[in-house]
Copies of this chain bind each other. A is one copy, B any other.
Amino acid sequence: MCRAATGARSYAGFVVTWFERRPQSAEVARPKGRGVPQPSIKVDISSLTPELLHFLGQAAYAELGAFENLARAVSTAPTVSAKEGLSAAAARALAKHHGLSGEIRRRGSEPHIAMAPFVERLDHYRQQTQGADWHELLLSCYLTGGLLDDFFIRLSGGLPREVGARVAHLLGEDSGTGVLVTELQSAIVADPALGSRLAMWGRRLVGDTLLVARSAMPKCDQDAAPDSRIEPVFTELIAAHTRRMDDLGLTA
């Protein structure tokens, strides 16, 4: 059985309490690679994708936040080697942000105007997910960055074809996060207590991030009736998240 499917199931409780999940289908989504979800359940994603400028503003501000977290990790890195590696990851997050800003400008708007509606919520989210120390911050960069990239790539399938493809390509590019994995793996091996703490932190991060993702969808009041269209998307996101936790030797 593939790890992704196992991981997706281990989060079933979380998803059930949220969406009052329908009886589980045998056709669980099996992402085959980061940023390239392969849903086996056909979902009309366009009904979940926000209007174009709304999407771009939100994704652009999320990438700017990912950059800010990575820049903070650069500044607080304990070694020059880690600083150097993280600076490359920061540059890639910034390139994604500027790519999205370019798409906003191409539509005659300004990035700061398109991003404005999302500042308060995403600033609050980022404050909640910064962690208490450098390793918690690294885990946050790795997990929340990955989850949000995956989420916006998935939603981009509902955008007008040309821009959707460009956005998916941009967000799917290598994030240079190998340095995060390397630093976290070696720290966890050296200190098992850190591993336990980071596993707990990872669970908190996925919860907070899925809440932000949920609120990014149009007409998705969290008190509203369950929506079977949303569930497969979240199942994919959680499966990819679980693979990231597995890579670090952490239980999702």
Contacts and interface: CB of A to CB of B under 8 A. Distances in A.
Interface of A: 61, 64, 67-68, 71-72, 74-75, 79-81, 83-84, 87-88, 90-91, 94-95, 97-98, 101, 110-112, 115-116, 119
A121 to B, nearest CB: 13
Contacts of A74: 64, 67-68, 71
B94 A91 contact: yes
Nearest to A72: B75
Contacts of A72: 71, 75
B75 A68 contact: yes
A101 B61 CA distance: 29
Interface of A, helix, strand, loop or mixed by DSSP = helix
Nearest to A97: B87
A127 to B, nearest CB: 11
A101 B84 CA distance: 9
Number of copies: 2
B80 A115 contact: yes
Contact of A90 (B71, B84, B101, B111): B71
Given A71-B90, A80-B116, 20 more contacts: A61-B80, A67-B71, A68-B71, A68-B75, A71-B71, A71-B74, A79-B112, A80-B115, A80-B119, A81-B110, A81-B112, A84-B101, A87-B94, A87-B97, A87-B98, A88-B98, A90-B94, A91-B94, A91-B95, A91-B98
Nearest to A79: B112
A115 B77 CA distance: 15
A67 B80 contact: no
A110 B82 CA distance: 12
A112 B64 CA distance: 26
